[in-house]
Amino acid sequence: MDFAWSEEQEALRRSVTQFAQNELTSDVVTEDQAQEFSWDGWRKCARFGIQGMPAPGEYGGGDADILTMVCALEALGYGCRNAGLVFSLNAHLWGAVMPLAMFGSDEQKRKYLPRLVSGDLMGGRAFAAARSGAAESGSASLAENIRAERTSDGWVLSGAGSYVANSNIADLVVIEAATDDGPTALVVEKGMPGVEPGSTAERMGLRTSPAGSLSFANCALPDANRLGAVGSGGAILKAAGEWEGICVLAAEIGMMQRQFETSDRYAAERRQFGQPIAKFPAIAEKIARMESRLETSRLVLYKAAWLKKQGRSAERESAIARSHVTEAAVQTCRDALQIHGGYGYMTEYQIERDLRDAISLKVFSN
């Protein structure tokens, strides 16, 4: 296994990093407090090509493979401090773009993909909830909560998904509904009669990425909105989820790289008792552990992406990467906060927000 990026990937990595650092510079502190989505950032990412990077070239996409997406999203997570925007981009890519690119009919691809790729349409990502009364992670099947009854010319939906990334701002969402013939994937468009978005949920982290419930009250869909064969919904969302599970973590590794560099630099500059705090064993150990977690996170994630690119099963390796990277990201943010002392606890230094966002991603990635 060769862990070196190709010349093209290295160029993309540099380009994405420079773009994010120069263009995605809105006031994230204010946006986080107001739970405000950055439409300016969304439009800039669309012009750069993020929204359609893995989509087929014939629809305006970049034909990027999964390793190239890992390279690009790691750079985006490093250069962009707005984790909510990055999460919304991932929801768009893996909740709408890739399901349609992999399983859509020619008609569906022509109808949706060019506008999804250009950013004129935004996709959402629907997560499941159990009927026990408490929301669970996205590992459960959406079909436990949403029912589709067949009609003469299509389907009628009823039920609810408890958590939809991009919720009330998404133009379309691919959902999995229970039918008599098994879980089936359906494309639901914003504004269809019977589609009822809920209010934006108050959250600990990822506050710049709108999220809320999505309910269906006798929502009539034509059969043209069915994605793939009847009964194949679980397989469709699982296939797209394999990309998602790897690529979301890539952005986390980019954030960890930024936190490591920031903390290393601060420890070298901050002086106490006549010397840089980096000379203190406790601080030096934290810096070393941050770098160690960063490198091991790359190893497990790159292996999962490499296997996926080879067409081999990466389910086990992806699970290992999810467990390791999400925990490593939280611990890295905690170490960064402690290295910065009281400054790390202050909102303006943006470390405490990275910690909140990392905890949120740990919830939604497992």
Residues annotated as catalytic (active site), given as ranges: 244
DSSP string for 137-152: -TTS-GGGTEEEEE-S
Contact status, residue 169 vs residue 38, Cβ threshold 8 Å: no
DSSP state of 306: H
Of the candidates 122, 133, 191, which has an alpha carbon nearest to the alpha carbon of residue 160? 133
Q: Can you list the pairs that 296-303 forms with residues at least 24 positions away whose Cβ atoms lie under 8 Å?
A: 296/324, 296/328, 297/249, 297/252, 297/253, 297/256, 297/321, 297/324, 297/325, 297/328, 297/329, 298/253, 300/324, 300/325, 301/70, 301/246, 301/249, 301/250, 301/253, 301/325, 302/3, 302/67, 302/70, 303/1
Distance CA 310, CA 331 (A): 32
For residue 148, report the phi and psi dihedrals to the nearest 5 degrees.
Answer: -120, 120
What is the token pair recorded at 45? 């990412």
Give the Cα-Cα-Cα angle 146, 148, 154 (nearest 5 degrees). Answer: 145
Identify the bridge partners of residue 128 per DSSP, sorted by sequence position: none
d(CA 76, CA 263): 19
